Amino acid sequence: MKEFLRNDTISYNLMSFTGYKTLIMFSLLTEGPKSYLDVKEYFENQPYVREKFSMDTMRVYMNSFKRVGCHIKRIRQDGVSKYWITENPFKLKLTAEQKKSVIKIYKTLTKNLSAEEIIELDRLLMKLTNYIDDPEFVEEYKKASVLKKENQQLVDTLLYCCRAHKQITVAYNSPRSGIKDIKMIAKRLVYNSGKLYIKASGFEYNQDTDFQVNRITAILEIKDPDEKFEGNKEVTVTYKLMTGGHAPELLPEEKLLEAGKDYAVISITGNNMFYINQRLLEHGALCVVVEPEEFKKTFVEQLKEMREEYDND
Measured CA distances, 45 to 78, 109, 128, 283 (Å):
24, 30, 24, 48
- CATH code of 152-223, in short, is 2.30.30
Neighbours of 232 (CB within 10 A): 14
What amino acid is encoded at 133 in this protein? D
Q: Which pLDDT does position 99 carry in this prediction?
A: 82
pTM over 0.95: no
Q: What is the CATH number of domain 235-312?
A: 3.30.70
The pLDDT tens digits of the residues spanning 238-258 come to 999 999 888 888 888 899 999
Judge if 2-87 and 235-312 fold alike in CATH terms: no
By the 10 Å C-beta count (0-12 exposed, 13-18 middle, 19+ buried), 280 is classed as buried
- Cα 102 to Cα 112, 162, 225, 295: the distances in Å are 16, 30, 42, 46
Looking at residue 213, what is its pLDDT?
94
The pLDDT score that the predictor gives to residue 302 is: 80
Low-confidence ranges of the chain (pLDDT < 70): 1-16, 205-206, 227-232, 312-313
Q: Where are the domains of the chain?
A: 2-87, 96-144, 152-223, 235-312
Residue-wise pLDDT tens digits, 25-38 = 988 898 889 999 99
pLDDT value for 166:
92
User: How far is the C-alpha of 220 from the C-alpha of 183, rounded, in Å?
Assistant: 10
Paired residues of 208 in beta bridges: 201
pLDDT tens digit sequence for 142-160: 888 888 888 989 999 999 9
Give the distance from CA 102 to its chain's centroid: 20
- Assigned CATH class of 2-87: mainly alpha
